[in-house]
Chain A
Amino acid sequence: GENVEQHPSTLSVQEGDSAVIKCTYSDSASNYFPWYKQELGKGPQLIIDIRSNVGEKKDQRIAVTLNKTAKHFSLHITETQPEDSAVYFCAASKAWGANNLFFGTGTRLTVIP
């Protein structure tokens, strides 16, 4: 099955700095890579996703890059704000059938004001 590894497990940045979270996956058939943000006491919420036929996608201060050859993808948050503090999960899916997602172990991001 698919194995998704995520690093780092914790990340602290000063407000206004950038944050980068990296993930690798093992199954070359995976073709859909979402990122979820989980705030304390809540369920995960999708913040951005990327398909395997795209190398980069950007949405305001958030961007995701994908390197299919190396089987890794990254989340970039620029101009971080205190409200970005949360746990972030990457995931991978073959996006067919039941669309099962395989999640990384999460990164706890703390933005220091």
Chain B
Amino acid sequence: NAGVTQTPKFRVLKTGQSMTLLCAQDMNHEYMYWYRQDPGMGLRLIHYSVGEGTTAKGEVPDGYNVSRLKKQNFLLGLESAAPSQTSVYFCASSSTRFPPTQYFGPGTRLLVL
């Protein structure tokens, strides 16, 4: 039982390049989330999903797209990376039961030059 895994762990991009971050969970959770973490700003929600085939915008969705084609996977895409997207990205998942504990992956560190 690996919990939540993220791929890749670290990536360097040039401005304008695109990439996809992959999140996978093996806990059969309905809900999945993508956050970014920046110094002094805590974790901010980018996009989330309440089930396979559904996605919704969070607090800071601009410049990102997501897809949830399979229940266990949640993909975060950057179509044209900008230096402002340099951050650490965390994926999380939770069940529909209370309490709504979110389980986090180990993070992806992204540097955009």
- B50: which of A97, A101, A102 is its contact (CB, 8 Å)? A97
User: How many residues belonging to A are interface residues under a CB distance threshold of 8 Å?
Assistant: 27
B42-A9 in contact (CB<8A): no
Chain B residues with CB under 8 Å of A89's CB are 42-43
Q: Which of these binds chain A: B14-22, B68-76, B77-85, B100-108? A: B100-108
- How distant is the Cα of A71 from the Cα of B4 in the complex, in angstroms? 32
- How distant is the Cα of A49 from the Cα of B107 in the complex, in angstroms? 22
Can you report 26 A-B residue pairs in the complex whose CB atoms are below 8 A from each other?
Answer: A1-B59, A34-B99, A43-B4, A43-B92, A43-B104, A43-B106, A44-B104, A46-B103, A49-B99, A49-B101, A89-B42, A93-B100, A95-B98, A95-B100, A97-B50, A98-B50, A99-B31, A99-B94, A100-B33, A100-B45, A101-B102, A102-B45, A105-B40, A105-B42, A106-B40, A106-B42
